[in-house]
Structure formats: structure tokens, C-alpha cells
Amino acid sequence: MGATSLTKRARRPRRPAGWFIRRVAAYAVVIFGAAFMLVPFLYMISTSLKTSIEAVKYPPTWIPRPILWRNYVDIWSALPLAQVSFNSAKISILATLGVVFSCSLAAFAFSQLHFRGRDLLFMVVLATLMVPAQVTLIPTFLLFRELGWVNTHAPLIVPAWFGGAFGIFLIRQFFLTVPQELADAAKVDGCNPFRIYWQIFVPLAKPVLATLAIFTFFNSWNDLLGPLIYLRDLKLMTFPVALTSLSGRYAVNLPLLMATSVVSIVPTLVLFLAVQKYFVQGIVLSGIKA
Amino acid sequence: MTSLTTAGSPTLEPRRGLGRSLQRLTYSDAFWAGLFLIPTAIGLIVFMLGPILAAFGISLVKWNIVDAPQWKGLGNYQTLLHDRLFWKSVWNTARYMALAIPLEMALSLALATALNQGLRLQSFFRTLYFTPGVCSVVAMALVWRQIFDFKMGMLNGFLKLFDVAPVPWLMTTATAMPAVVLMSVWQGVGYPTILWLAALQAVPQVYYDAAVVDGAGRWAKFRYVTWPLITPTAFFMLVLDIIASFQVFQQTFVLTGGGPRQSTYTLVLYIYEKAFRNFLWGEASATAYVLFAIMLGLTYVQFRMQRRWVHYEIA
């Protein structure tokens, strides 16, 4: 920021013409990018408000005539949408809580406690980042099948409660920046490590915990492969897998399919817009320290 | 910690009714670390190390949902090497990488560079570019499937303005992969844009001033000041992008189902269908291990190569 204002001050009097052209070019690029990002959303919303006849008209119309708000009512009876929403919310929230809880505990141990083999164990955890999920997919599936958990939500929730390399790494990076004096003072006052974790580190780490929570929530909400493998009944399905299984059936009724898609992305959009500051910080944090 | 207990603070007098050894145990870091790491340790064994070993074991047997496992040695790997579809999916993954990575990197760098000119609404645009990335790939792929539609799709409608004849995007082997890539770039471009922007903002202005004194033009400034200083970001993104390219699944699953004529059939789709359509656990596990090996190999090569082009000497 400071750097750019410096450029402006230095340039403006000397080369106003060049500066102006550069500005216009920059805005052109940025606005082109914005249009590219927005058009599919506009198309989706527009189609979701059309009649099924208008939806397949060529050339496509931007503003539907008539605007069929009713589509958003109809989808709730056309498919078990309330159930699907509930499933998605339940799985994502429980998985997110699990990841934040288990990763922050481990991150505290890896950053604040001293024990033999700590760095080795941490390296092992980090190394698992390199393992593609497809390698563990089949044994994990067979394990859950043995447990009789196929066609339940458990396989999509339970593993989240047992840590994860990315989350541990992200939180540990933050915990390492907490001044040592804070923990020492608490120790002198007789706090045990759990209280130090719970009453000092967790409150301090709220931004980074929020970042991890959002990442996890989005991943869980948008995951297709897990639900595709584990869930059979439409009653149990989450949005992505319900959408794929309905997309064949609803190919005829495009507006309803689009309306359902809109409903499925609204929670992530709202959440993202509400917390985007944390989110951007988290991305920069996770990107810079790698 | 033990040094603290002998510091003489009154709160740290040994509590009555507790044995000294028990107290030392509950004060020791190792004890607490053990407690804190219970979930992670279980997860590491049950959901990571165990399955990694098990997958290798499974890759050596013939096993399906009905019959008992049968020893095959490296037979599954041999089957794989002779499977045309396997090579096709490796090739498709390579094609995806060759198209998507340069396109995404160039587009995101252009957007970040433009945003870095001190434009108004910078954070608004940054947020907007990231928005597709938080949306469900499945939901957005259903939208893009319509956009790519031959007859009524918007993309062909747009191209018609430039007198381009309609293209059956998802229906020809030549255009299906570019279409998948276009959608992926649309969803993925926000993340690198944010990283580039952060990297660009971290370049000290004095370097540019010095370059101007030395008579550097705009291109020279980018080539000799900006680019060397953002190569660590470029390297990080390249590593992540290559790993992510091997995981492409949802887009092709919804947009094309791997077709037409398997021109968008990816490795993950291959594993998925082997394992959960045909129930060939052994062959699917062998494929997963090959995927793992290729990824490790490529990452290793990248780390070896980084010395040639990545500069870490930022002050």
C-alpha cells in the first residue's frame, strides 16, 4: 500500500499520460476478470427463475419473462431438499468442530510442550500431506464397511476428529508466534497445560482457528467423492451428491436444477462474504509459510 | 518447568495429599503431550499409516467384493501397464496440467499485477475473484455444462459475436479437455491471485527506484526485479498445482463423465471406477500407488530444479 502510493506520487507529475494509460489498462484487466467471474453466477440465477421452456431458448435471455420465483418454492417439494440441507449442515459442522478441536490440541503439543521425539513425530505428520487421499481411500472404505458404517454419516465426520496435517501445521505456525512469557506467567500461577491451552492459546488464536474452520467447512460442504462412496439413500445425501444424482433426472427441468444449485451455494457464499477478511489472511499465511 | 517449581513461589508448594512422583508426572510435558496428542496419534495410525500400508498390501492381491483375496504379487501393476485406459488417463492428466497450470498462473498474475496498481476497490475485486472457489464444484459444473451447450449455450452465443461457428465443446475429443480446463481456471484463479498480490506487495519499492536509476524500462523492471522476488510464490503454486492436477475429479465427473471417448478420463476417475464400480480393490490400490509415486517423483524433480530459477534471498 505504502509502496503503491509512493509510485503514484513519484509518477504523476512526470508522466501523466503514461500513468493514465496504465491505469485504464489495469482497470480493463480487472473488470474483464470480474465479468468472467460473474457471468456464470448471473446465468445460474437467471435460469433458476425461468420457465423450463424459456430456459432452453436460444439465444438465452438474461431477464426471464415472467420471473418465476415459484421455482424456489417448488424445489422444496420436488425433492427432499430440507433433508439434504440438514445433512450437509450436520456433516460440515461436526467435521469442522472436530478438525479445529483435534488440530489445535496437537498444535499446542507440537509448539509449547517439550518431549522426546516431538520433532520426529511432527515431521511424520507433515509427511502425510504428501500422500494423496486416493491411497488411503480404499483401506479406509473397507474399514468402515467392516464397522457397518457404510450408508451412514459417520465416515464423513469421525476422521475429522482425529487431526489433520494441514490444520496442525497452520495452527502450530500461529502458536509459535505467541510470546513465551504468556505461557510462563500462567505456569507460575499454577495453570496446567490444558488451562494454558484453553484459556490463553485458544482465545488468542481465534483468527487462525476461524480460518481453519472455514477451509474445513467448505471442503466438507463441497466434497463429492466421500458422500458418493459412502451414502446410498437419497435421504442421507449431501448437496453435491444429491445434485449429481438429480442432474440426470432433472435435465428436463433446468430451472429447478439451477435453483437447487443456487440454494446449495448460498450458505458457503454467505459464510465466505461474512468472514472473507480472515479467509484472505489465512490463504496468505498458509501460502507464505510453506 | 521443574525449575519453576523450585523457584519458591508460594502457589507452587507441593500440594498436600498428592504423592511427589504423581505430581511430577502431572507436571511433566510428556504426560500432557500424550493427552493432547491422543486424537492425532489415533488418526495417524488408523486413518493414515495403517491404510497406507494396507493399500500396498491390497495392491498385491486380487480382491473383489465376492471372493477372498488372492496373491498376485506385482500382477496388478503389470495389468495396469498394459491397460490402455490407464495410460489414457495419465495422458489426460498431463494434458490437463499443460493447459490449466500456465493459463491459471498467467491469468492470476495479470489480475494481481493490475490490482497492484493501487486501484480502487482492490479488496472488492480480490474477494470477487475468489468467490467461485468457495462454491461447490458440482453446482458450478452443472452451470458450466449449460454454458458449454452446443445449441443453446452462452459460450457459443458469445463467440457468435465474433463470427465463430458454434463449437460442440463437451462433445468432441479435441475440445472437451479445454472446456474442463476453462471451468477449473474460473474456479481456481482466485487463490493464486491472492498469493501473487501478497508477493507483489512485499517487493520493496527501493528496488524499483534503483532499477529506474539504472535505466530499466517496464519489462526490465518486471524481469529483473519483480519476477526474481516472486519466484518463491511461483514455485509454491507450481508444486500445489501439479498435486491438484492429479486430483481432478469433480469437474470431469459432472461435465463429461470422462468422455467423449475417454478424452477427459482422469486418474482419480479411473481409481474411483475400478474400486467402486468394478470392485477391483487390488487394481485400484495399485493405481493409487502409481499415482502416489508419480506425484512424489514430480515434486522431487521440482525441488531439485528450484535452485535454477527460485530466489530466496529476500531481505
Q: Is the whole model's pTM more than 0.90, yes or no?
A: no
Backbone phi, then psi, for B71, in 5-degree steps? -65, 130
Give the integer Cα–Cα distance in Å for A226 and A244.
13
Residue A94 has pLDDT above 90, yes or no: yes
Name the minimum distance, in Å, from the CA of B103 to any CA of chain A. Answer: 13
Quick: pLDDT tens for A109-168. Answer: 999 999 999 999 999 999 998 898 999 999 999 999 999 999 999 999 999 999 899 999
Q: How far apart are CA A93 and CA A216, in angstroms?
A: 9
Continuous segment of H or E residues that includes residue B70: strand B70-71
β-partners of residue B71 are B61
Domain boundaries, chain A: 2-72, 74-288
Residue type, A284: V
User: Are B259 and B88 a contacting pair, CB within 8 Å?
Assistant: no
Over its length of 315 residues, how does chain B's per-residue pLDDT go in tens digits? 344 444 444 444 555 555 666 666 666 888 889 899 999 999 999 999 999 999 999 999 888 777 788 888 888 899 999 999 999 999 999 999 999 999 999 999 999 999 998 888 888 998 999 999 999 999 999 999 989 988 888 888 888 889 888 889 999 999 999 999 999 999 999 989 999 998 898 888 888 889 989 888 888 888 888 999 898 888 888 988 888 898 899 999 999 988 898 999 999 999 999 999 999 999 999 999 999 999 999 988 988 888 888 887 654
Q: How far apart are CA B102 and CA B113, in angstroms?
A: 16
Distance CA B201, CA A239 (A): 38
Q: Considering only residues 194 to 213 of chain A, which have any Cβ-Cβ distance to chain B shorter than 8 Å? A: 194, 197
Residues in Cβ contact with B124 at an 8 Å cutoff, skipping those fewer than 6 apart: none
> Among B27, B30, B3, B7, which residue's Cα sits nearest to residue B15?
B27
| B26–A192 C-beta distance less than 8 A | yes
Domain B78-309 has CATH 1.10.3720.10: yes
**Cβ B52–A134 below 8 Å, yes or no?**
no
How many inter-chain contacts (A to B, CB under 8 Å) are there? 297
Q: Which CATH class is domain A74-288?
A: mainly alpha
Of A58, A102, A136, nearest to B152 by CB-CB distance is: A58
Identity of the amino acid at B276? F
Among the partner-chain residues B4, B118, B285, the one whose CB lies closest to the CB of A4 is B118
Question: Could you give the C-alpha distances from A11 to A7, A27, A69, in angstroms and in order?
Answer: 6, 18, 52
Say how many Å lie between the first and final Cα of chain A, rounded.
Answer: 24
Q: How many other CB atoms are there within 10 angstroms of residue A280's CB atom? A: 19
Asked if B136 and A243 count as a contact pair (C-beta separation under 8 A), the reply is: yes
Separation of alpha carbons A170 and A99, rounded Å = 12
Predicted complex ipTM: 0.86
Q: Where are the domains of chain B?
A: 2-73, 78-309
What is the C-alpha to C-alpha distance for residues B238 and B227, in angstroms, rounded to an integer?
15
- Which chain B positions have a beta carbon within 8 Å of A190's beta carbon? 11-12
Report how far residue B167's alpha carbon sits from residue A92's, in angstroms, rounded to the nearest whole number: 39
* Closest C-alpha among B152, B196, B66, B117 to residue A288: B196
Single out the residue of A193, A274, A236, A216 nearest to residue A97, CA to CA: A216
pLDDT for A217-243, tens place per residue? Answer: 999 999 999 999 999 888 899 999 989
For the beta carbon of residue B10, count every other beta carbon within 10 angstroms: 6
In angstroms, the CA B134 to CA A38 distance is: 14
3-state secondary structure of B61: strand
Nearest to A60 by CA among A79, A73, A45: A45
Residue B62 is classified by DSSP as E
Separation in Å, CA of B106 to nearest CA in chain A: 12
- For residue B81, the tally of other CB atoms under 10 A from its CB is 12
Instruction: Give the span between the Cα atoms of B119 and B130, in whole angstroms.
Output: 18
Give the gap in angstroms from C-alpha A77 to the nearest C-alpha of chain B.
19
Is A252 an interface residue toward B (CB < 8 Å)? no
Are A81 and A263 in contact by the 8 Å Cβ rule? The answer is: yes
Interface of A with B in 68-97 (CB under 8 A): none
Q: From CA B30, how far away is CA A70, in angstroms rounded? A: 62
Residue whose C-alpha cell reads 498436600 in the numeric block: B16
A4: which residues sit within 8 A by CB, 6+ positions away? B116, B117, B118, B201
